[in-house]
Chain A
C-alpha cells in the first residue's frame, strides 16, 4: 500500500527541523528538489501500523513566486497531493506565523494540522495561548508542543494519523477583505469560472494571487484565458489600486494582518511585560560595530582551527592510507597498463575523493552549529554593509574566509545563503581565495626567490587574489548573474542550544551527498591526468602527452614570461594545487633545480598564476554538485582568463621596470 504523504510547512526558525527529526528519527534522506538547489528532506515514520512519508518543505515566510524556496513549497502544496499538511508555527511569534497559515488555507487545503511549537518558551515570555480555542478559531486541529523537549510529538502523530484516515472534519478559516477587495476577487473568479483552472485550483486563491501580481499565477492564467481577458483583469485591478492610492499586495497584506490580529484575540493573551532577554543582551555585543567584529574574528578562528586542525591531518592520513594500499597492490598486478590505471588512476582518485570527506563533514558540522545556535543571522547583520559594496550579502564572508583553508568547503558553505543569485555569485568567485594548498606553492616560491622579503611577497599574492575575488563578485553580479539586489532584512532568532542529533544527521547526509556528486568528476580527472603523464612514454622523458600539451601552450605561456614546464606543472595543479611544485621537481629532477631555472619575476608570476588560474578538480566537482556543469565550466574559463590577464600584466610591468 502506498505511504501517506505528510508535508511539513512553516516559517524559518520555528523549529521545523526539530519537529521533522522527532517525527522521523534517523530514517531520513537529504537531497535536492528536482531542477533546483533547494534542499529536500524526506523521512518515514510508522504509527499504528500505518507508514507516513514526511516531506520537509523549505522554511518560508510566505508562498509567493518571488523566491525559489517559496515556489518549491507552494508547488508541492498545490500539486504534490499531500494527505496531511502540518503547519509548524512558533508560539512566541504567532501573529507573523499565521500569515503563512492563512495563505495555506487560502490555497484551499483542508487537511491541515497546526503544530504550535515552542509553547514552553511562549509561557516563559508571558504569552498565554489556549490551543482548544485556537483550534476553534482556525477551524483545524492545533497541537501544543515543544519539539525540542519531546512534548506533543505523540499527539501530533495521532492527529496526522486520524486526519489521514479521514476521521477529522476541518473548516479552515479564510480571511475576509473589505468590500472593495472582495468585489475585485469576485470579478476575477467570475472571469475564471468555466475554465479548466476551476477543477485544479481554488479560484479565490488564483484571484488573490492575481491581485498581488504573482508572476507564476499570471502565466498560468494567461495559458487558460488568453491575453485579452487577462489584460482586462489586470486593468480592472489597476483601477482599484488607483482608487486606493496604493498597490494591491499592500492592501491585502495589511487587511490580512488585521484579520489575524482580531483572530488571535480569541485565544491569545499577554501577561506581564516583555523583559529584556539574554538574546538582546548578547546581540548588543555580537552585532555591535566594534565588539561584533572582534567576536566574529574569534569565532572564525575557532571554526578554522576546528575544521582544519582536525580535518587536514585526517585528510593526510586517508591519503596515506590509500597510497600505501596502492603500493601494496602494485606488485600483485602483472599487466602494466592495468596496474597504472588501478593504482595511480582509480585508487589515487577514490583516495582523493574520500580524503575530502573529513573536511566536508567537519565544515557542515561547524556550520550547522553556527546556524542552529542562531549566530549566522548575526554574521549577516554585521557584515552586510561591507560585503554589499561588492554586491555580496553579509553572510558570504563565511564561505570566503573558509576558502582560505580549502575551496571545497567554501563552495559547500554557500548553502547558507538564501538568495539563489547571491549564492551563485559567491560560489563562482570563492575559488579565487588562496587555499592552504596554494599557500604551500606561494610560500615555496617566495622563500626560494625572495629571501628575507618572502612574507611581504607572499602577502602581496594574497592581496591580489582577494582583490580579484571581490572585484569579480562585483563584475559577475553586474554582468553575468544579473538580478535585483535582495533588500536586507533578516530575522534574529533567539539563541538556542542546538540539538546534537540534528547537527550530526544533517552533516552526515550533506557530506555523503558531496562524495556522491563531486566524486565522479574527481575520479575522472585523476584518470585523465594519469593517462596524460604515462602515455605514450612516462613523464620526464619529454615525450608524454602532458609534455606535448606543454609545448603546445608554450607560445601562450611566453606572453607571461613562462615556458612549457610551467604549462605542464599548471596542468597537474588542476588535480591539486600543491602539484605545481612537485611537477617541476619531476621535470627538473629536483625542486632545488627550479631556483636556477627562473628569475624572481618569473617565480612571482608563477605564484600569482597558480593562485588564480583554475579551481582544482575537487572544487570544480563541488561547484558542479552545487549548481550545474554550465557554472562549473564558466568559473573555470573565467579564472583562466583572469589569471592570464593578471599574469601578462605583471610580467610586462615587471619587464618595463627592469625586474626581468
Chain B
C-alpha cells in the first residue's frame, strides 16, 4: 500500500522514503543539499511539541521546523 504523508505526521522511530518536496526553489535547494532528496530514507528520532523534529538521514541528525517537515512528503515504511 502506498501511504504518502507529510514527514511531520511520523512518530519517533518511524521511517519514510522522501517522495516529494513542496516548496519554492530556496526551500528545495536547502533541503536537497542536506541529502533530503526524493529516494532518501528519513527516520524521525524525536518530535518535540512545541519545538522541532529531530530526523536522521544517512547517518546525520537534523533539526527541522514543523512547517518544513510538513512540506517534505514521504512514503511511510
Contact = CB atoms under 8 A, between A and B. Distances in A.
Contacts of A95: 35, 58-59
Q: Chain B interface residue count: which class?
A: 35 or more
Contacts, number: 138
B13 to A, nearest CB: 11
A92 interface: yes
B59 A127 contact: yes
A61 B33 contact: yes
Which residue, of A246, A380, A489, has the highest number of chain B Cβ atoms within 10 A?
Answer: A489
Nearest to B31: A489
A257 B39 contact: yes
A62 B48 CA distance: 29
B29 A62 contact: yes
A592 B54 CA distance: 58
A64 B49 CA distance: 33
B63 A289 contact: no
Interface in B30-72: 30-40, 45-46, 48-52, 54, 57-65, 67-68
Interface stretch (A109-117, A279-287, A404-412): A279-287
Contacts of A491: 34, 60-62
Contact of B33 (A99, A258, A378): A99
A487 B52 CA distance: 12
B59 A93 contact: yes
Nearest to B26: A484
A487 B30 contact: yes
A62 B49 CA distance: 31
A381 B58 contact: no
Given A99-B35, A287-B63, A486 B30 contact: yes
A487 B68 contact: yes
A217 to B, nearest CB: 13
A263 to B, nearest CB: 13
A597 interface: no
B63 A380 contact: yes
A249 B2 CA distance: 24
A249 B25 contact: yes
A489 B25 contact: no
A66 B30 contact: yes
Contact of B29 (A64, A257, A258, A381): A64
B49 to A, nearest CB: 8
A539 interface: no
B20 interface: yes
Contacts of B46: 283-284, 287
A555 interface: no
B34 A249 contact: no
Interface in A464-501: 484, 486-493
A425 B26 CA distance: 19
Contact of B37 (A60, A256, A274, A487): A256
A253 B33 CA distance: 9
Contact of A287 (B25, B27, B54): B54
Contacts of B20: 246, 250
- Of the candidates B31, B57, B58, the one having the most CB atoms from chain A within 10 angstroms of its own CB is B58
B61 A488 contact: no
A62 B20 CA distance: 19
A280 B55 CA distance: 11
A359 B33 CA distance: 37
A489 B26 contact: no
Given A249-B29, A284-B46, A489 B37 contact: no
Contact of B68 (A60, A66, A488): A488
B74 interface: no
A582 B54 CA distance: 52
Contacts of B36: 489
A261 interface: yes
A604 B58 CA distance: 58
A247 interface: yes
A280 B45 contact: yes
Interface in A86-103: 92-96, 99
Nearest to A483: B26
A487 B46 CA distance: 19
B64 A488 contact: yes
A250 B62 contact: no
A128 interface: no
Contact of B28 (A61, A94, A249, A288): A249
A268 to B, nearest CB: 11
A509 interface: no
B3 to A, nearest CB: 19
A92 B59 contact: yes
A486 B26 contact: yes
A254 interface: yes
Give the one of B34, B35, B61 with max A CB within 10 A: B35
B32 A381 contact: no
Contacts of A99: 33, 35
A490 B40 CA distance: 17
Contacts of B30: 66, 486-487, 489
A535 B63 CA distance: 59
Interface string B3-38: 000000000000000001101111111111111111
Given A66-B30, A250-B20, A492 B48 contact: no
A64 B54 CA distance: 25
Interface in A125-152: 125, 127
A282 B48 CA distance: 15
Contact of B67 (A66, A213, A488, A492): A488
7 contacts: A61-B33, A61-B34, A66-B29, A249-B25, A250-B28, A280-B45, A289-B48
Question: What are the nearest 4 A-B pairs in CB distance?
Answer: A96-B35, A61-B33, A381-B63, A488-B65
